[in-house]
Amino acid sequence: MGIDLNRVTIVEIVLRVFIFLVFFRISTSDDLPANFVFGDSLVDVGNNNYIVSFSKADFLPNGIDFGRPTGRFTNGRTIVDIMGQELGCGLTPPYLEPTTVGPVVLKGVNYASGGGGILNFTGKVFVGRLNLDAQIDNFANTRQDIISNIGPPLALNLFKKALFSVTIGSNDFINNYLTPGVTFSEHGFSSPELFVASMIARLRLQLTRLFNLGARKIVVANVGPIGCIPNQRDTNPTAGDSCVTFPNQLAQLFNIQLKGLIAELSSNLAGSLFVYADVNHILEDILQNYAAFGFDNPSSACCYMAGRFGGLIPCGPTSKVCWDRSKYVFWDPYHPTDAANVIIAKRLLDGGSSDIWPMNIRQLYQL
């Protein structure tokens, strides 16, 4: 019995048209732009679950207020989770999750990875992690999938309207420059100034690459007051009850140059909308005025095992957990609680120029 080639061709055409219509309908089903997320453990929603790494959070008590541990390094939601919910686009799925394929990616993808940094050397202590270069490689794969499925015109329009956020840099200090026993003289990064300059130079290339891949609305968060996290407090006990000065100076050195980089890229890349998110300022405000924000404890980890501030051992199954998570700024030695993330997220969404510049995320999203 012979095969009807014409019939096969017609079936293929019908199938292709059906697939196109499915993707087109999902990509145009509402006016909410897609949300593409890049960063480290502050915004990782489970990518590290799928790689061999010492930087994982897929176990209790992580996620205790989320309903289950998912790979988020906090008791509840990340900053990007909360912003997504506030904007009406929901939770953005991790890139490495097997179900993050097909029409799902048209709403956005989260590429963030715990332990990841701007520099590729950063986070080697964790073995597996996706640094920013690798995350952008993964976005390039998503981009090609979207182009293949809905065609270049629709895809490029999707990227033009989409929100891209980058929250990275803390690990370059905490798990790189400030790591005991690591020396950078052989790399030419012996001074803080040279190390920060190397971060900015690499980030310039990375953000420019994102732009060249179609990103236009790009929010870049600065590095928070890392000298105030429980880990740094416990590893630098001579600071007493105060935040540790040197890590905060490193963060400020980077942040000043980052703001200049944002202005430079906005000027040089025609059609770009770069936004500088001053998370450092917001967190400093929370830490200095914690009682006004409803917190009782601004310095210790809620999930703790060792150290005066609970900062010596990462949160794990045998850790103790504070009774009222909403009263703590920090969940573990490194990361904020859901309660702190809510404040940060809402100020980035609707805050003024002292929080986020030159516009807030809601204004950017609605453009």
Active site amino acids:
41, 332, 335
Coil, helix or strand for 273? strand
| Tally of CB atoms within 10 A around 176 | 22
- Residue 329 parent element (H or E): strand 328-330
Q: Which of 116, 171, 160, 161 has its CA nearest to residue 138?
A: 116
Q: Which of 40, 67, 63 has its CA nearest to residue 53?
A: 40
DSSP code string of 143-189 = HHHHHHHH-HHHHHHHHHHSEEEEE--HHHIIIIITSTT---GGGT-
Q: For residue 59, give every residue at least 6 positions away whose Cβ sits within 8 Å of its Cβ, in sequence order, or none.
A: 69, 316, 317
CA separation, residue 361 to residues 86, 209, 303 (Å)? 11, 22, 31
Burial class, 140, CB count within 10 angstroms (exposed 0-12 / middle 13-18 / buried 19+): middle
Rg of the chain over CA atoms, in angstroms? Answer: 21
Gap between the Cα atoms of 367 and 349, Å rounded: 14
Coil, helix or strand for 53? coil
Helix axes 279-288, 338-350, angle to 10 degrees: 130
